[in-house]
Structure 1
Amino acid sequence: MDARGARRTLEALGLAEAPRDRPLSYPGVWPDRSGLLDGDEWLPLDRLTHPGRTPVVAVGSNASPAQLRLKLAAFDVSAAVPMTRARVTGVEVGVSAHISRAGYVSASPVHAPAVTRELFVIWLDAGQLDVLDATEPNYDRVLLPAPGFRVELENGEALLDAFAYVNHHGVLHDGSGVARRHPGQRALITELLAESAELRRLFGATPEEFCARARADARRCEQGTRLFALEKRVTASGLEHLRVR
């Protein structure tokens, strides 16, 4: 509880649902302010920067406290993670060109110099960073170098270094070659199924069927990922040149 006696659990705050449990909720519920994920609780922060920890810009479910808690708990690693809101310039939230075993099509950053998005920076210690790297097998963790990218915290401070996870399959485009923006899972899957008869053959006609079939069959996910490339629906993120961690 906080000083006023209010409960600060993820459940009480409506932050407890993880996309790995309910894929159509992807990218999950994000907090409305900076805070400290501390196991099952969401607590106030006493500062926005955390020396000794690595700042990672989260564009998808890593900004969901429930998802982050689930990932860290699976490796028996402390789920004490500061999460700070930030204005990130140079990055748009695109669509990864792969189908996850968790049953969703996840987000991946796209280079967009004129775009500024409200995102979260998660501050990870060495053990937590190892876990996140291990749970992102389809991603490379890259450095977003200033001044080409700007990560500005709520107090106006700009980070000199911040990382992001970039999907190494590329990202999906909108049919004209322009990287598509991730609209949320249900809307995205509805669009993708409508655009491809072969994808419907593999994954069914509805978002619910898509998620169920993806979660049940790793080989089907691999087939769907290859289909994106075969149907020429994949483009570069514009971040391929960045230095991998």
Structure 2
Amino acid sequence: MQGRTLEELGLAVAPRDEPLSYPGMWPEESGLLAGDRMLPLDEHDTYEGRVPVLAVGSNACPGQLRHKMAESGITSPIPMVKARVTGLDVGVSGHVSLMGYVSASPFKARGTVRELFLTWLDAQQLAVVDASEGVASPTGAYDRAWLPSSDVRVEPELDYGRPLPGAYVYVNRRGVLHDGNSAPRRHRDQRSLLTELLVSTPRLRELFGNTPEEFCARARFDRRLCARGTRLFAEEKLVVASGLEPYVR
């Protein structure tokens, strides 16, 4: 088998195991995630039977994806393709994750160009990722939305830059955090994000402590505390719409 292991590439750490590493390390190039290895992609490969899903957070981290699939016994490989995305940016979810971090969520940003990863998922893989995002749960954090190319342009690098007809993305049901000026806050590394939130929001410190380490330790697997933190974001009026709500069906 060709390719290199995730450990060799520095891609093995899953944010669900180390919350402050969120969103985790992303690959430097397109590839095929096959178990604990990244293999080269053939630009002539077809993805029949798979759907394109944009990854804006830890779903672009091979270590995290490997963890999710292994929990469900899924062993089929996942193509991860770099893409130029126009009309979308990466913000901060309006909820506290049970994994102990504040995750990323997309927002509509006309004219903005980002390099993101497309994960091409088969039916079983899509069901696993849907479940991990709480899509089918009334108390889940995300809905999966289809973004047509007329509004968000997605150009995979291995398809000679030709745009896709559209792609799926996970949209936070509670919106995204703002930057203090009613515009969505862009997601940064987890330590910097949590430091800023704790410094600016005294009630958040009361719940989660004074440091990013305390925040992660207290939030991790504490469903009640995460729910309180999520409500606090709304009560403190820190949340705005992502602009992607109309695409959710």
User: For residue 24 of structure 1, what is the aligned residue in structure 2?
Assistant: 20
Q: Determine the C-alpha separation between the residues in 1 that align with 2:197 and 2:76.
A: 34
Amino acid at match of 2:73: D
Amino acid at match of 2:206: R
Q: Percent identity?
A: 61
Kept in 2: contact 1:78–1:128 (CA 8 A): no
Residue 69 of structure 2 corresponds to residue 72 of structure 1:
yes
Q: Deviations over 1:134-158 (max 9, x none)?
A: 1101110000111111000112121
Deviation at 1:49, TM superposition (A): 4.8
User: For residue 152 of structure 2, what is the aligned residue in structure 1?
Assistant: 149
Residue 193 of structure 2 corresponds to residue 191 of structure 1:
no
- In structure 2, runs of 5+ residues without a counterpart are 135-140
Q: How many residues align?
A: 240
Amino acid at match of 1:158: P
Q: Determine the C-alpha separation between the residues in 1 that align with 2:164 and 2:29.
A: 18
Residue among 222, 225, 249 paired with 1:217: 222
Aligned residue runs from structure 1 range 12-161, under 5 A: 12-47=8-43, 49-137=46-134, 138-154=141-157, 155-161=160-166
User: For residue 169 of structure 1, what is the aligned residue in structure 2?
Assistant: 174
Kept in 2: contact 1:69–1:79 (CA 8 A): no
Deviation at 1:176, TM superposition (A): 1.4
Secondary structure of the corresponding residue to residue 189 of structure 1: helix
Q: Determine the C-alpha separation between the residues in 2 that align with 1:31 and 1:73.
A: 19
When normalised by structure 2's length, the TM-score is 0.94
Amino acid at match of 1:180: R
Residue 237 of structure 2 corresponds to residue 232 of structure 1:
yes
Question: Hey, which bits of structure 1, 4+ residues long, moved more than 6 A?
Answer: none
Residue 212 of structure 2 corresponds to residue 207 of structure 1:
yes
Deviation at 1:78, TM superposition (A): 2.0
Q: Determine the C-alpha separation between the residues in 2 that align with 1:11 and 1:36.
A: 15
User: For residue 4 of structure 2, what is the aligned residue in structure 1?
Assistant: 8
- In structure 1, runs of 5+ residues without a counterpart are none
Q: Determine the C-alpha separation between the residues in 2 that align with 1:139 and 1:17.
A: 23
Q: Determine the C-alpha separation between the residues in 2 that align with 1:152 and 1:87.
A: 5
Residues 216 and 92 of structure 1: CA distance in aligned 2, closer, same or farther (over 3 Å): same
Kept in 1: contact 2:143–2:248 (CA 8 A): no
Q: Determine the C-alpha separation between the residues in 2 that align with 1:217 and 1:243.
A: 28
The Cα RMSD (Å) is: 1.1
Q: Determine the C-alpha separation between the residues in 2 that align with 1:216 and 1:169.
A: 20
Q: Deviations over 1:40-84 (max 9, x none)?
A: 100000136512201000000000000001011111112510000
